[in-house]
Structure 1
């Protein structure tokens, strides 16, 4: 396996480990074990645990951006919103590590900011802003529409993290009945 392929393996393993344990409770030893390499080898690929975490953050958010872009391709307005929401719901229900990683990202930023380590929060905010900007453009650069999309996205995160199954009544009509008009 090439160094780049190994690096990809480390990023995937880091997403799984950080999603399940959070930044502080996840050891680089656990990531190395999941990949099947030594800890010193990890540090040849990434200079620090923080660098591994930020690579995992970037990949998690990039995967989400890709899901949105693919779902909305060729669609506009309400059709794009519905397609993106449905694709995102499938993503986090079918791959719970994606949702868990997002939740851990928010917790890690709050913790890092509180302890004065602003570089983590700054990097994550930049990556998240990129995702916001892409969806904003997809939704016709309408601030209200983009805000509503992300507000409902956070509701979707909450419902999924609480374990409501996809067919539960709390999911039904999420974009039909709950969206304000006008």
Structure 2
């Protein structure tokens, strides 16, 4: 890697982080690339060095947020015994919600965006997470792994709503 590549990669990640925060706080449609640039402390034209459109920036932000969930779940699957799998996955997701609430708010917004490329990124993320959980439940010998995966994903969506609305009582058991 040349000396110029590392700063570019870091800059790209900084722009994605700024986009996640800006889109989550203001909303994708209301947010501008100028606001993202301001948050990243760069000029607006510099964003377009990495992302040809605001939509491409959104897709990159979604890809990054899904990637963190996937990596977190993979670490759990690889490190906990089968008897602790489901509680450990739930805890991992709760940690993501606590540490990266903006990413979950971004994903919630993206579910309502009709752009096919955004919808495909969301489908890809959900499919990947579903397969990780389903395979882990199957490998752990958890009874009815398809149903348990469905319930796990549904609980995750309820966690998102609970966090977004500030209603922790939705998660009380």
Q: Does 1:93 align with 2:91?
A: no
Contact 2:59-2:117 within 8 A present in 1 as well: no
Gaps of 5+ in 2: 1-5, 140-144
How far apart are 1:57 and its partner, in Å?
Answer: 0.3
Instruction: Assess if the C-alpha contact under 8 Å between 2:20 and 2:61 holds in 1.
Output: yes
Whose helix fraction is larger, Structure 1's or Structure 2's?
2
What is the match of residue 131 of structure 1? 129
C-alpha distance after superposition, 1:14-61 (max 9, x if no partner): 111111122211100011111111111110111111110000000011
The count of residues paired between Structure 1 and Structure 2 equals 163
Classify the secondary structure of the residue corresponding to 2:167. Answer: coil
What secondary structure sits across from 2:42 in the alignment? coil
TM-score (norm 2): 0.83
Q: Where does structure 1 lack aligned partners over 5 or more consecutive residues?
A: 174-182
The structure-2 alpha-carbon separation of the partners of 1:94 and 1:3, relative to structure 1 and needing over 3 Å to count, comes to: closer
| Displacement of 1:76 | 4.8
Distance 2:117 2:171 in 1: 37
Tell me the C-alpha RMSD between the 2 structures: 2.0
Q: TM-score, normalised by structure 1?
A: 0.80
Distance in structure 1 (CA, Å) of the matches to 2:71 and 2:125: 13
Which structure has more relative contact order (CA 8 Å, sep 6+)? It is 1
The residue number in structure 2 matching 1:119 is 117
